[in-house]
Copies of this chain bind each other. A is one copy, B any other.
Amino acid sequence: MTGTIQRTATADKLARLEQILERRDLDCAVVCSYQNVSYFGGTYLMTQQSLPDRLAFLILPRGKTPTLLVCAIETSMVRAQTDIGDVRDYVEFVDNPTEVLARVLRDRGVAGSIGIDARRLPLASGDLLRDTLSGAELVPIDDDIELAQAVKSRSEIDTLEAGARATLAAAEETAAELRAGATEREFSTMVFLKLMERGGAPLFLVFASGEKTMHAHPESTDARLEPGKLWRIDFGARFNQVINSDLARTGVIGNPSQEQRDTLKALRATQDAGFNAIEPGRPAKDIFNAVSNEFKRQGLPFGMPHVGHGMGIGLHEFPMLEPGNDIRLQAGMVLNVEPMVVLQNRKEAYHTEDLAEVTASGPRLLTPPQHELLQVRA
């Protein structure tokens, strides 16, 4: 990050969107989500995440140049960020953004079939678009768009790696610096501080100790870190404006028991099994199956709907490492593998998550997996 606003080159990414239009034989693409507008439009508008009514659209008529349609409040920012020349805007509360979108589409000569991110476009907008553009057909292209974003550029991989390493360092340093008796909140505050000092913008943070580790996404409380208890963290930040990190670690307060050590070791074996299944050409579900099979071999109860996911502007990008996913791995994909085990009898849960790049010769780990439980000393 520098002292000025970075301008993003969009040509390569828009070419991927153009290919979808050709392959699906569509007249135009209109995408609206934060992930999709950021990726194809070269923007990073925080209000797309915090203000869901402030819609933004990237429009690409087939074989033509793109248009960005944003709230007028954001126009100067967008013009500073993107290399797309045609930035149009609407006035909030005066214009209905979707009606303006329909006008832009008519103006750009779009009629017929429009590919949209139907899992993101609000129903109210979709219905209004259908009413306004008679004869237009809205065609979901969510999966195509996700797949187009799955293979990262070298600079994206570099940012993902730097972000993941900064995230790991924040967790490890915090565990080393705090002592038993500190509160959960003190842990999460210190972790976020260390992330921000490394250029990350806080995104989410799961932290819990003791029984609360069994929930998927608990937040830190004023509970104190008590010797003998387990803790776990799962957190991330944005780096270089739009690239996320997402990392999980499990630790103890004081010395771990042999049972706790053994469980972490068994969990790590399941993660290794997942990484070892990474190879270009294999379907994403192979990683899921490798992890779930290793859970059985290790005698750990398995209850995960997925064991990891692609990383980028989105937190769970394609390919999802889930049992029905036939998408083939390709070099340049970047995946988190994150086994988690919930032990009902011991009332604790273990979770570990690391990032790997898919290369021609297999996985390249971007963070070193944990060899032992992180320790907050007593």
Which residues of A approach B to under 8 Å, CB–CB? 1-5, 33, 44-47, 49-53, 71-74, 76-77, 80, 91-94, 116, 118-127, 138, 140, 142, 184-185, 188-189, 192-193, 196-197, 199, 201-206, 212, 214-219, 221-224, 241, 305-306, 315-316, 320, 322-325
Contact = CB atoms under 8 A, between A and B. Distances in A.
Contacts of A193: 189, 192-193, 196
Contact of A305 (B93, B127, B223): B93
Contacts of A305: 71-73, 91-94
9 contacts: A3-B223, A4-B221, A94-B324, A118-B124, A118-B127, A124-B140, A188-B196, A189-B193, A189-B196
Contacts of A222: 1-3
A289 B4 CA distance: 36
Given A71-B305, A123-B126, 16 more contacts: A4-B221, A5-B215, A45-B217, A51-B316, A73-B217, A92-B305, A93-B306, A118-B122, A118-B124, A119-B123, A122-B122, A123-B123, A123-B125, A124-B142, A126-B127, A192-B196
Contact of A118 (B3, B123, B212, B218): B123
Nearest to A121: B123
B121 A122 contact: yes
A245 to B, nearest CB: 12
CB-CB nearest 4 A-B residue pairs: A3-B223, A123-B126, A92-B305, A93-B322
A219 B205 contact: no
Contacts of A74: 216-217
A189 B194 CA distance: 9
Contacts of A184: 3
A2 B212 CA distance: 13
Contacts of A218: 5, 77
Contacts of A214: 76
A4 B223 contact: yes
Contact of A215 (B80, B93, B124, B192): B80
B119 A5 contact: no
B77 A216 contact: yes
Contact of A202 (B52, B192, B324): B192
B3 A324 contact: no
A209 B73 CA distance: 18
Contacts of A118: 122-124, 127
Contacts of A33: 52
B4 A120 contact: no
Nearest to A215: B77
A150 B99 CA distance: 27
Contacts of A47: 216-217
Contacts of A49: 49, 204
Contacts of A77: 215-218
A196 B51 CA distance: 22
